[in-house]
Amino acid sequence: MDAKALSGAVALVTGASSGIGAATSRRLAAEGAAVALVADRRDPLDRLVCEIARAGGLAEAFDSDITDPEQAYQVVQDTLERFQRLDILVNNAGVMLLGTALHATIEEWDRMVALNVRALLHVTHAAVPYLIDGASTSARQVADIVNIGSTSGRVAQPAGSVYSLTKFGLNGFTEALRQELLRERVRVSVVEPGTAPTELADHLDDDIRETALGQISGLEPLHPADVADAVAYIVLCDRRAAINQIMIRAADQTW
């Protein structure tokens, strides 16, 4: 018997080029899964493939704009062509553009909805039939969808209205999909991280970034690996158990 819990399993991780996505990809590969790394930037994906290979794991990079439904469908097909199956989907790709309704642009709102909502729907829709097949054909007898949400899906704050819209909506989508796929042995879960060092703040205007960073000044943030540990906990559970939600905050975070 293989010593690694996910040997023979295949995972697809979106937003895998940095932060939580990269950490999750490393963790799943360390547990024995072959990992399809998906993002819209090729160079960091290629570096991560090499890093995982040096650690004894297996990964493949797929640069794709998953806000385009055809590209989202194709990246799932490319994963199947490379690895012949799909057992785990981690929907991590996202963007946070803070700004009040008076000052935010409609283009910023549309960008968040496109990546945080539509891209997730595109990839999930393309992957579900193969996850069902994965659940029925693997030794684990279960497959997993793990959606990466945010504490902003529980606690709304000024300047984050549309970001919270996408994350509150993600929680509802996750719960409904969980119920839909129960009989298919596909577990559906959400992990809601609090403050963590990611590239989300890199997309903010300078003045808003300064305000956002000021809010978390003095906090010891989560590490991306902390969130990756939560994802691993979900997918490593025996098929008799389903971890539906995990909220993980920095220990000093109050919101």
d(CA 109, CA 120): 16
Q: Are 10 and 75 in contact (CB under 8 A)?
A: no
Which one of the listed residues 73, 130, 163, 233 is annotated catalytic?
A: 163
Question: In the chain, which ranges are continuous DSSP H helix?
Answer: 19-30, 42-54, 69-83, 106-113, 119-137, 161-180, 206-215, 224-236
The two three-digit tokens of residue 1, written as one number: 């018997």
Examine the residue annotation and report whether 73 is marked as an active-site residue of this protein: no
DSSP string, 61-125: EEE--TTSHHHHHHHHHHHHHHHS---EEEE---------TTTS-HHHHHHHHIIIIIHHHHHHH
CA-closest candidate to residue 230, choices 199, 190, 200: 190
Catalytic residues: 163
